[in-house]
C-alpha cells in the first residue's frame, strides 16, 4: 500500500515528520517497507522565464534564448530546439552539471553551432514525469523564476509504502492508515462526510441481481452531461506518485477512491450499454475482453455484470473493454457494490487476474460505506467533468447485517500480552479506533465493532431468534463473541501501546536431552524395514485397497471395509494384510522369468472390529501396522551346494529375526498350529506371547491360493503385528555379561507322542536349570517305521554356560539328568536309546 505524505495529511491533522510517521507505523504493526522522495532527483531543476528568444544564426531549427533563472543567476544564454520556445514563456531550467533522468545524461556548458549554451530548457519527459516531448514544458504565466520545480509542482511529497497483512483490509485505505495513526496519538483524524447529491431524474439503467451469494448488495446511478478529459494535476500527481498511470478524469476518480477510502468503484459508458438493465449473475462460458485487453472465458462460479448483449464486467475485479469510458464519454453509470471475498479470490486465482479492486474485496471492505462512497464519487465526477446531472440511486439486494460485538476482560491483557495496561487506557484505545462502548464494568468491556474492521469477531445477529427473550439473546450473543474476539481486542490495545513494548519471552526449555522425534510405532516400522532388508528382502509399497476377490483369499471381506467410491473397479476393498499385494507381486515377477524372490512390506492391514472385542474397539473398520514378507522359489545357489527350495523355517527365521530386533522376548514366545486359512494347515504356526497375545503368523502359503497362478514353486511368508509388540521399557541397558568360560553343548533325542509339540519339549528343557541352561534348539525330527506306533523322535541341543568356573563331568551329567527328568515329567518323553 502506497500513499504520499500530503495525501495522508488530507485525513490526518498532524505536524509529525516523515521519520516520526514511519516510526509510529512500525510500532503499531503497519510495517514500513520503503520511503521514496520523488523530488530528490529534481532538486537542481528550477523555474525560469525566457526573456528573449531569437533565431539561431547558424541553424533553422534552433533558437537562442536568454533565460531569467531567478535570484542568484545572471541571465543565461541557452540554445533550444523546441518549437514552442518563445519570449515570455515560463519554463523548467536545468543548469550545467544537472543529471537529466529522462535522457540518462548529465548536461554540460558548451557551444551549439557556434553559440554558447549554459544549461537546458526541459520537457516533462526529460524529467521522467510523462510522455509529452513535443516541446519544452510550459508553466503558468504567473510563475516566478528561481523556484524549486519539485516544490512548485508538488513533487517534493514523500511516498511511503507499507506492508499490509491479509486481515487488515481497512489499512488498504489512506483514511484507514490515518485513523490508526490518530488512535496512536500522532495527530487527529479529520472529519469526513460525503455531500449528498440529489437525483434529478430516474436512472434509465436499473439493477437486477440473480447471484446474491456473490453480491448481496449493489448500487448505481446514471450521471449525464459530462466532459471526460485529463484529470487535474493534483489528482494525476497523486496517482503517478503511487505508481498508477493517469488515464482520464472518470477513471482516475475511481482509482482515487480505491486508495483514498479503500472503496473500489466502476464506471460504465452508459451509451455503450445494451438495454435498460444491468444484471449481477453467474458466468455462462462467455468470452469477455477486459480493460487491459485480455480475452477470458467466465464460468458459472464467476460473478459477472452483464447487459442485454452479454458480460460487461468481471464483478469486483476488472471491467470490460466494450463498455469502458473514453474521451468522448458524456454519460456514465456509476457502480458501487459489495462482493463475497472468497468468490472474488477464487475467480481471480482461476483466471490469473489481479487488480487493486480484487486486492481489497478479497480482504474485506467497509460494508457500511457504499452509499456515502457513491455520493462522494458522484460529487467529484460532477466537479471535475464539467458539471452534469445525477439520477436517483438504484439498487438490488439488501445491505448486509454487519453488526458485531466483541468482549474484553481487562485481566487478560497482561496474561496474554505480557503488559499491564490500565483499563481506562485500553478502553480509550478501542474508542480511538472506532469501537463503541456497549457495556463496561470493573472486569471488562463489551464493544460494538466498527463496519470497517472485518478482522475483529464475526458477523452475528444481535437477536438470537424468537425462542429467547431479547436480554437473554443479547447475553448469549455476547458470550459467543467473547471467546472468538477477545484476542482481537487485546491485539488492538497492545499495538497502540507499541508492539516493541511487549517484553520478549523465551520459549520454555524442553530439557537437556531432546524428546524423541519418532513415536514408538514409527521406530518399530523403521526397525522392521532395516532388519528385513538386511536379510536380503526387497521392500515394496502397495495400495491399501485391493479387489474383493483377492482380499477374500486372505480372510473375511466385511461391508465395513468396502469402498463406496473406489478409484478403480478392481480396487474396491481394504486389504486385510499386505500379503495380498506381495503375492500379486510374486506372481507378476514369476510370469516374467523371476520366480526366486524375497519381498516384504511394512504397512497397514484392515479388519472389522467386532463389538465386545478384547481391544474394546467399537464395530467398524480398524487398521493395524503389519510387517509381512514372502519368499518364493529357491534360496540362492552357491558353489558345491544345491539350491534348496524355501521352507517354512525360512519364514520363521525372518519373523523371529525381526521380533528380536523389535525387543520381543523371543525366548519366551510360543508357537501354536492354528494359523489362518491362507497358510498350509500342517506347515505353519502362530507366534504367541502368552495364551492371548498374537504377535504374528508364519508358514507355507496354502496350495489352494497358488493354484491357477502359474506358481509351481513353494511360497512361504510371515506376518508380524507390530502394534501388538509392547513398547520397550525406558531404562538404561547394562553391558552384556560375557562369561570367560567355554560353553558346553549336549544333544538329547526324546521319544514323545505325535501330538506333543516341539515347543513344549524345548520349554521344559529350558526350565530344567535356569542358572546353567543358556539355550535350547531343535535340530532333528524323525517320524518313521523304526519307532513305536504313534511316536516321534525330537532331537534337541542344550547349551550349558558356566559363569564362575569350568564344569566337571559330574556337574555336566547332573544337569543332563535334570533336563531328561524335566522333559519326561512335562511331556511324557523317554530318552531314545
Residues 554 and 422: their CA atoms lie apart, in Å, by 71
832 φ/ψ angles, rounded to the nearest 5 degrees: -75, 135
Q: How far apart are CA 565 and CA 569, in angstroms?
A: 9
The grid cell for 593 is 522369468
Residues 6+ apart with CB under 8 A from 718: 628, 629, 651, 652, 654, 655, 696, 697, 698, 699
Rounded CA Rg of the chain: 45
Place of cell 503497519: 30
Q: What H or E segment, with its residue span, contains residue 434?
A: none
For β-strands 436-440 and 444-448, DSSP reports them as antiparallel
Q: What grid cell was written down for 674? A: 492354528
- Strands 159-162, 188-189: pairing is unpaired
Contacts of 786 (CB under 8 A, 6+ apart): none
**In sequence order, what DSSP letters do the residues of 350-378 get, joined into one string?**
HHT---HHHHHHTT---TT-HHHHHHHHH
CB 682 within 8 A of CB 699: no
CB 96 within 8 A of CB 105: no
383 is in an annotated binding site: no
Residue 31 near residue 123 (C-beta atoms within 8 A): no
Nearest to 285 by CA among 273, 301, 265, 271: 301
356 marked as part of a ligand binding site: no
Q: Are 94 and 73 in contact (CB under 8 A)?
A: no
Rounded CA separation 388/204 (Å): 15
Annotated ligand binding at 441? The verdict is: no
Round to whole Å and give the CA distance between 77 and 66.
5
Residue 718, C-alpha cell as written in the block:
510371515
CA 578 to CA 606: how far, in whole Å? 10
Rounded Cα distance, 67 and 74, in Å:
9
What lies within 8 Å, CB to CB, of 71 at 6+ separation is 146
Hey, how many other C-beta atoms are within 10 angstroms of the C-beta on 788?
Answer: 9
Q: Is 180 annotated as a binding residue?
A: no
Q: How far apart are CA 155 and CA 157, in angstroms?
A: 5
Distances (CA, A) of 272 to 203, 289, 309, 535: 15, 15, 10, 80
Please say whether the beta carbons of 115 and 58 come within 8 A: yes
User: Rounded to whole angstroms, how far apart are CA atoms 362 and 345?
Assistant: 6
Beta pairing partners, 800: 744, 773
Is beta strand 597-609 parallel, antiparallel or unpaired with respect to 538-539? parallel
- The two most distant CA atoms of the chain are separated, in Å, by 142
Number of residues assigned to the chain: 833
Residues that constitute the known binding site for Mg(2+): 455, 488, 491-492
Residues that constitute the known binding site: 455, 488, 491-492
Amino acid at each position: 500500500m502506497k500513499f504520499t505524505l500530503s495525501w495522508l495529511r488530507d485525513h490526518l491533522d498532524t505536524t509529525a515528520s516523515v521519520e516520526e510517521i514511519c516510526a509510529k507505523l512500525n510500532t503499531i504493526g503497519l510495517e514500513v517497507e520503503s520511503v521514496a522522495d520523488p523530488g530528490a532527483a529534481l532538486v537542481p531543476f528550477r523555474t525560469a522565464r525566457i526573456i528573449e528568444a531569437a533565431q539561431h544564426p547558424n541553424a533553422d531549427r534552433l533558437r537562442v534564448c536568454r533565460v531569467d533563472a531567478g535570484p542568484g543567476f545572471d541571465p543565461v544564454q541557452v540554445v533550444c530546439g523546441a518549437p514552442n520556445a518563445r519570449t515570455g514563456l515560463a519554463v523548467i531550467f536545468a543548469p550545467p552539471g544537472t543529471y537529466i533522468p529522462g535522457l540518462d545524461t548529465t548536461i554540460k556548458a558548451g557551444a551549439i553551432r557556434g553559440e554558447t549554451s549554459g544549461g537546458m530548457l526541459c520537457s516533462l519527459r526529460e524529467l521522467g514525469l510523462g510522455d509529452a516531448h513535443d516541446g519544452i514544458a510550459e508553466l503558468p504565466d504567473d510563475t516566478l523564476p528561481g523556484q524549486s520545480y519539485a516544490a512548485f509542482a508538488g513533487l517534493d511529497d514523500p511516498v511511503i509504502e507499507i506492508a499490509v497483512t491479509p486481515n487488515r483490509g481497512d489499512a488498504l485505505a489512506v483514511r484507514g492508515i490515518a485513523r490508526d495513526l490518530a488512535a496512536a496519538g500522532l495527530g487527529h483524524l479529520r472529519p469526513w462526510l460525503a455531500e449528498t447529491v440529489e437525483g434529478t431524474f430516474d436512472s434509465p439503467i436499473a439493477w437486477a441481481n440473480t447471484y446474491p451469494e456473490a453480491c448481496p448488495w449493489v448500487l448505481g446511478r446514471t450521471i449525464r452531461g459530462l466532459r471526460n478529459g485529463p484529470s487535474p494535476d493534483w489528482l494525476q500527481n497523486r496517482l503517478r506518485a503511487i505508481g498508477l498511470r493517469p488515464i482520464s478524469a472518470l477513471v482516475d476518480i475511481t482509482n482515487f477512491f480505491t486508495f483514498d477510502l479503500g472503496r473500489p468503484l466502476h464506471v460504465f459508458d452508459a451509451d455503450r450499454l445494451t438495454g435498460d438493465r444491468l444484471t449481477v449473475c453467474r458466468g455462462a462460458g462467455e468470452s469477455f475482453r477486459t480493460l487491459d485487453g485480455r480475452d477470458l472465458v467466465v464460468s458459472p462460479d464467476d460473478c459477472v455484470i452483464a447487459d442485454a448483449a452479454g458480460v460487461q464486467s468481471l464483478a469486483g475485479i476488472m471491467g470490460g473493454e466494450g463498455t469502458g469510458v473514453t474521451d468522448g464519454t458524456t454519460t456514465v453509470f456509476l457502480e458501487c457494490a459489495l462482493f463475497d471475498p472468497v468468490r472474488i479470490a477464487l475467480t481471480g486465482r482461476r483466471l490469473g487476474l489481479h487488480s487493486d479492486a480484487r486486492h481489497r474485496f478479497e480482504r474485506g471492505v467497509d460494508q457500511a460505506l457504499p452509499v456515502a462512497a457513491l455520493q462522494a464519487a458522484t460529487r467529484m465526477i460532477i466537479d471535475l467533468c464539467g458539471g452534469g446531472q445525477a439520477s436517483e440511486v438504484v439498487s438490488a439486494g439488501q445491505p448486509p447485517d454487519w453488526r458485531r460485538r466483541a468482549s474484553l476482560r481487562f485481566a487478560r491483557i497482561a496474561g496474554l500480552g505480557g503488559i499491564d495496561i490500565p483499563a481506562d487506557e485500553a478502553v480509550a484505545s478501542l474508542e480511538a479506533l472506532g469501537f463503541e462502548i456497549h457495556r463496561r464494568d470493573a472486569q471488562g468491556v463489551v464493544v460494538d465493532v466498527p463496519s470497517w474492521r472485518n478482522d475483529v469477531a464475526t458477523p452475528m445477529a444481535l437477536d438470537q431468534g424468537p425462542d429467547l427473550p431479547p436480554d437473554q439473546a443479547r447475553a448469549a450473543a455476547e458470550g459467543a463473541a467473547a471467546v472468538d474476539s477477545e484476542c482481537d481486542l487485546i491485539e488492538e490495545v497492545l499495538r497502540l501501546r507499541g508492539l516493541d513494548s511487549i517484553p520478549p519471552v523465551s520459549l520454555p526449555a524442553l530439557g537437556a536431552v531432546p524428546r524423541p522425534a519418532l513415536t514408538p510405532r514409527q521406530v518399530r516400522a523403521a526397525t522392521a524395514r532395516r532388519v528385513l532388508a538386511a536379510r536380503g528382502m526387497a521392500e515394496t509399497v502397495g495400495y491399501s485397497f485391493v479387489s474383493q476377490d483377492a482380499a477374500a483369499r486372505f480372510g473375511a471381506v466385511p461391508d465395513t471395509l468396502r469402498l463406496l467410491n473406489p478409484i478403480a473397479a478392481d480396487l474396491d476393498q481394504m486389504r486385510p494384510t499386505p500379503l495380498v499385494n506381495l503375492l500379486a507381486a510374486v506372481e507378476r515377477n514369476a510370469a516374467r522369468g523371476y520366480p526366486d524372490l524375497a519381498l516384504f512390506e511394512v504397512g497397514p492391514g484392515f479388519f472389522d472390529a467386532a463389538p465386545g472385542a478384547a481391544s474394546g474397539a467399537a464395530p467398524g473398520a480398524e487398521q493395524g501396522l503389519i510387517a509381512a514378507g514372502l519368499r518364493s522359489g529357491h534360496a540362492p545357489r552357491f558353489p558345491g551346494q544345491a539350491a534348496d527350495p524355501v521352507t517354512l523355517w525360512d519364514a520363521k527365521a525372518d519373523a523371529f529375526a525381526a521380533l528380536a530386533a523389535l525387543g520381543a522376548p523371543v525366548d519366551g514366545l510360543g508357537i501354536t498350529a492354528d494359523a489362518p486359512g491362507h497358510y498350509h494347515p500342517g506347515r505353519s504356526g502362530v507366534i504367541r506371547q502368552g495364551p492371548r497375545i498374537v504377535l504374528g503368523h508364519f508358514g507355507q502359503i496354502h496350495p489352494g491360493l497358488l493354484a491357477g497362478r502359474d506358481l509351481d514353486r513353494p511360497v512361504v511368508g510371515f506376518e508380524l503385528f507390530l502394534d501388538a509388540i509392547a513398547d520397550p521399557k525406558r531404562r538404561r541397558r547394562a553391558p552384556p555379561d560375557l562369561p570367560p568360560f567355554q560353553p558346553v553343548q549336549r544333544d538329547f533325542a526324546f521319544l514323545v507322542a505325535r501330538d506333543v509339540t516341539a515347543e513344549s519339549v524345548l520349554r521344559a528343557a529350558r526350565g530344567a536349570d535356569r542358572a546353567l541352561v543358556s539355550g535350547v534348539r531343535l535340530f532333528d525330527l524323525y517320524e518313521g517305521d523304526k519307532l513305536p506306533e504313534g511316536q516321534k523322535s525330537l532331537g534337541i541341543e542344550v547349551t550349558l554356560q558356566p559363569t564362575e568356573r569350568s564344569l566337571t563331568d559330574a556337574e555336566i551329567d547332573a544337569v543332563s539328568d535334570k533336563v531328561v527328568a524335566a522333559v519326561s515329567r512335562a511331556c511324557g518323553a523317554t530318552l531314545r536309546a
